[in-house]
A and B are shown apart, each in its own frame.
Chain A
């Protein structure tokens, strides 16, 4: 039975295991046209494997993927014609100049040379690389390489762009430039699937997101919804001498939740006033009061222990 919807990607009960580990353990979600959809999770949550399954690069053990109306992996190649990919690790061709990279990549889509060449100036402009057209890749900075990777992903004028941690390893300046470019793409009506573990990135860009951990989706919503529904609205971070004892004792009656991480106590509260008044009388403790953000939600959902 054919269903009509505006979903550009529909994933149902997707499964993939390696050895005894179920890397993707029954994942379902839908991405609607024009949105920026976030796939969040700590390292090893199964984000990249999910992306590779959605692109039809690996065979699932179970479940189904429909990408731009095409069943994947059976018709994955037809679907990939209309998709752009920014991979987690730069794989620009080191043997070529900036322009050659775009030209050669466009050929992989079967686009005639003259058509690719006519698109290149606009792509270079978008990537801020117009003055570097004939430069060899080795001379580009990390941020420039990422922008070239982004331009390369647009060479086929895709409807949907997959971005696997597009700003990992970039400095703040370069990161802000990428964010601004992604917003431009959304304004042009492109759909974006973004994986990230930068909560600030997800909060700024994503219309909706899912949080993944250990191969499963553990929560879904817009960043605002998740912050409003999953966590107390205010956070007071406390540190200083004796914070350990304080967090195990007095803090418990003043905050609805207290988490000690290293030498900082994170106090989650609905009404911060009593806690702040109490802290004013404790000169040994210093504190920072702020609204709750997506990172707090993320840490609540996925825990604080290291993932590596």
Chain B
């Protein structure tokens, strides 16, 4: 039992496992980036210009500028979540890639760490792509906006860790629908992605304060506007807190599932 709850034993042995995932991604990089880019871009342009034309300025900016920051945070979350749900589950359960890796001198902790870092890496890659679109539309104020790219991997780590914990519990792909329907989608509505949090009743705003995506948008949005965010330390602490807690929960659950 003690082994199940032991502190994470982290080491650089995760690197070859990360490289394995990167090598697979590189083979399919073009369709992968397109997939990660096309969806959010279409929504951003469609809603931003279409719906935005009907609206007054939001938070003192055109709606598209407001939405751009939300889209960046939202799609980084989605990329990390998809990677740690569907892709990691395939590698663990369907292809048994993890079994093969742990037969080599690599421990389960190393594999889970590799999946976490990889999901943040992939989230970063897609975040950069969306950032370039936002910048090309003239919706980013340089040079401060570049700091948003430093926030992106932290958002990736946060949602990658939470996704891994869900995967550790999942009996099949179907299970992931619950996570999207019950957690990810409501969170997107409560986190200031599509409209300002101030629109919501006070109770909802209180809930939003514990949601990691809300903290992600509160960091990314001012940075894209060229402003220094308020409460930087708090936002980072919440994101990193979820990352650490999620990672530890995922480790315990994976150990119980695969190594007990």
The answer to whether residues A94 and B95 also contact, given A59-B259, A87-B100, A110-B16 and a CB cut-off of 8 A, is yes
B259 touches A109 (CB 8 A): no
Interface size (B, Cβ < 8 Å)?
23
Q: Mark A96-117, 1 if CB is under 8 A from B, else 0.
A: 1000100011011110000000
- Interface-facing stretch out of A24-32, A74-82, A208-216: A74-82
B96 touches A91 (CB 8 A): yes
A100 touches B96 (CB 8 A): no
Secondary structure at chain A's binding surface: helix, strand, loop or mixed? loop
A57 touches B102 (CB 8 A): yes
Which chain B residues in 38-73 approach chain A with CB under 8 Å? none
Q: How far is the CA of A77 from the CA of B110 in the complex (A)?
A: 12
Q: Mark A113-129, 1 if CB is under 8 A from B, else 0.
A: 00000000000000000
B103 touches A104 (CB 8 A): no
Task: Report the minimum CB–CB distance from B167 to chain A (whole Å).
Answer: 18
A91 touches B99 (CB 8 A): yes
A93 within 8 A of B: yes
Q: How far is the CA of A78 from the CA of B106 in the complex (A)?
A: 10
Q: How far is the CA of A93 from the CA of B19 in the complex (A)?
A: 13
A58 within 8 A of B: yes
A246 within 8 A of B: no
B181 within 8 A of A: no
Task: Report the minimum CB–CB distance from B105 to chain A (whole Å).
Answer: 4
A95 touches B27 (CB 8 A): yes
- By a CB distance below 8 angstroms, the chain B residues around A89 are 96
Which of B95, B97, B105 has the most C-beta atoms of chain A within 10 angstroms of its own C-beta?
B105
- By a CB distance below 8 angstroms, the chain A residues around B99 are 87, 91
Residue in contact with B107 in the complex, picked from A77, A81, A94, A109, CB distance below 8 Å: A77
Task: Report the minimum CB–CB distance from A14 to chain B (whole Å).
Answer: 16
B259 touches A105 (CB 8 A): no
B182 within 8 A of A: no
B3 within 8 A of A: yes
Question: Mind listing 23 A-B residue pairs with CB under 8 Å?
Answer: A55-B103, A57-B102, A58-B259, A59-B3, A59-B259, A77-B106, A80-B104, A85-B103, A87-B99, A89-B96, A91-B96, A91-B97, A93-B95, A93-B100, A95-B24, A95-B27, A104-B20, A105-B100, A105-B104, A108-B101, A109-B104, A110-B13, A156-B104
